[in-house]
Amino acid sequence: MDYMIGVDIGTTSTKTVLYDLQGQVVAYANKEYPLYQDTPDMAEEDPNEILDAFVSGMTEVLRKADLTTGVLRGVSFSAAMHSLIALDENYQPLTRVITWADNRAEKYAAAYAEDGRGMELYRRTGTPTHPMSPLYKLIWLRHEEPELFAKAKYWVGIKEFLFNRLFGVLKEEYSIASATGLFNIFDLDWDEKALQAAGITRNQLPELVDPEYQVTGLNPAYAEVMGIPVDTPFIMGASDGTLSNLGVNAIEPGVVAVTIGTSGAVRVVVDHPVIDEKGRVFCYALTKDKWVIGGPVNNGGIVFRWVRDQLFSPEKVTADLMHADAYDLITKIASEVPAGADGLIFHPYLGGERAPIWDANARLILRLNPDSYPGAHGAGSLRRNCLQPLYGYVSARRSSR
């Protein structure tokens, strides 16, 4: 039996799936890692922890493969967008992974949004004016961390970091590059005006390649640990967002894909770049002749995780003791609540919001009803009448709604 492996480098975990050539799942591994939020608006990961998660996931699924008679035909990648890592001249990280959820560049994104420079860059890059974008992360670092910025020889994302560790190359495919805010979606090349705004040169960025580009010559040490030949082809793949459409075959005109992971998004594939004159949606390249337009929300599955950790701690402990999934238990509890939840509305602005408002400062307003709130934690104490309906949200740079 021959095999393929798909790897998804996500925000909170790396998923690894071993397939046979008929597309049947042979083995699956999910390796989590922490999201570091040491200061307000920070959302970082350790690149070496993600590398370890990748190696561990590969090793686990390959235990189910028989490579004495079969062949691993290739390994392909999906990765979260908008990540940024500074590397020194020896390709060693100077920062952790600054993820899409990191909002510390908000002040600079807001300034570009207010004076029109952001819209000008959006029309070239398809990346909305928001601190998720590596462009604004670079501007922030240049102003707030000038010594670190000066030390950085290269700027990469998490997938480029992994390929550099595994193969010693520095390459980036179009769809991940397209989400950096530094890539011209019309020319399919690094955008000179965006580079000037960021204060970097194209020599500090990886070489651009097609998503189908293959790399061989795996570092022997990693090949030995994972138990695969050094000449196994690794395919660059694409971003998680664009591949979501491809994976569910939502690539025909008018066919929309809705996906929910840590965040969530609605996307549609088009055959030419499309720019919204109000800047409400993104437009990212998938291949040389396909682009994906849509809108993401910051708070998808991460809200479920917040509910699990903050409101259902006893249920999480119970699920662990039962060797069950806490999410399954919480879902069962939620299924007993009538549709509409008696008018309770939860607007999940836990970490700002992206489409369509693109406001990193959006914050939730909830009001507790002190007469009905029992003051304890857990599912038993959270009643449907504990919270009054949502009034709206506030923003440091937009009027309340």
CATH of the domain at 84: 3.30.420.40
272-328 pLDDT tens trace: 999 999 999 999 999 999 999 999 887 888 888 888 888 888 888 888 888 888 889
| Residue 373 pLDDT level (bands cut at 50, 70, 90) | very low
Note whether residue 190 is domain-resident.
yes
- Report which of 14, 83, 79, 78 is spatially closest to residue 44, judged by C-alpha positions: 83
> Which class for 193: exposed (0-12), middle (13-18), buried (19 or more C-beta within 10 A)?
middle
Q: pLDDT tens across 35-87, in order?
A: 999 998 999 999 999 999 999 999 999 999 999 899 999 999 999 999 999 99
Mean pLDDT score, 20-32: 96
The H or E element spanning position 48 is helix 47-62
How much is the average pLDDT of 258-275? 88
Residue 218 has pLDDT above 90, yes or no: yes
pLDDT of residue 53: 98
174 falls within a domain: yes
Residues paired with residue 189 on neighbouring β-strands, in sequence order: 184
The token pair that represents 131 in the structure block? 């601190």
Domain final residue, candidates 213, 244, 275: 244
Does residue 273 have a cis bond before it (omega within 30 degrees)? no
Predicted local distance difference test score (pLDDT) of residue 47: 98
The CA distance from 228 to 59, in Å, is 9
Asked if 239 and 319 sit in the same domain, the reply is no
Asked if residue 340 is part of any domain, the answer here is yes
Q: Does the residue 20 lie in any domain? A: yes
Phi, psi dihedral angles at 114 (to 5 degrees): -75, -35
Instruction: In whole angstroms, give the CA distance from residue 181 to residue 130.
Output: 10
DSSP string, 282-333: EEEESSSS-EEEEEEES-SHHHHHHHHHHH-HHHHHHHHHTT--HHHHHHHH
Whether the per-residue pLDDT at 236 is higher than 90: the answer is yes
Give the chain's domain count.
2
- Residue 225, pLDDT above cutoff 60: yes
Q: How far is residue 98's CA from residue 123's CA, in Å, rounded to a whole number?
A: 25
- The separation between the first and the last C-alpha atoms of the chain, rounded to the nearest angstrom, is 58
CA 342 to chain centre: 34
Decide if 6 contacts 30 (C-beta within 8 A). no
CB 268 within 8 A of CB 244: no
Q: Are 141 and 15 within one domain?
A: yes
370 Cβ contact list (under 8 Å, min separation 6): none
Give the pLDDT confidence of 115-161 residue by residue, as tens digits: 999 999 999 999 999 999 999 999 999 999 999 999 999 999 999 99
Quick one: 76 and 215 in the same domain?
Answer: yes
State the average pLDDT for the chain.
88
Same domain, 220 and 335: no
- Asked whether residue 55 falls in the same domain as residue 184, the answer is yes
In a domain, 130, yes or no: yes
Q: Which residue has the tokens 């996906």?
A: 259
Domain-located, residue 134: yes
pLDDT of residue 391: 39
Strand-pair category, 3-9 with 72-79: parallel
Specify whether 25 is located in the same domain as 171.
yes
pTM strictly above 0.85: no
The residue among 244, 274, 292 that closes a domain is 244
Name beta bridge partners: 117: none
User: Do 28 and 132 belong together in one domain?
Assistant: yes
What is the model's pLDDT at position 388? 37
Note down the domain range covering 81.
Answer: 3-244
Name the domain boundary from 244, 271, 290: 244
101, part of any domain: yes
Find the Cα–Cα–Cα–Cα dihedral 317, 318, 322, 328, rounded to 10°. Answer: -100
Judge whether residue 196 has pLDDT over 60: yes
Which of these ranges, 109-113, 155-159, 335-339, has the smallest mean pLDDT?
Answer: 335-339
Is there a domain that residue 262 lies in?
Answer: no
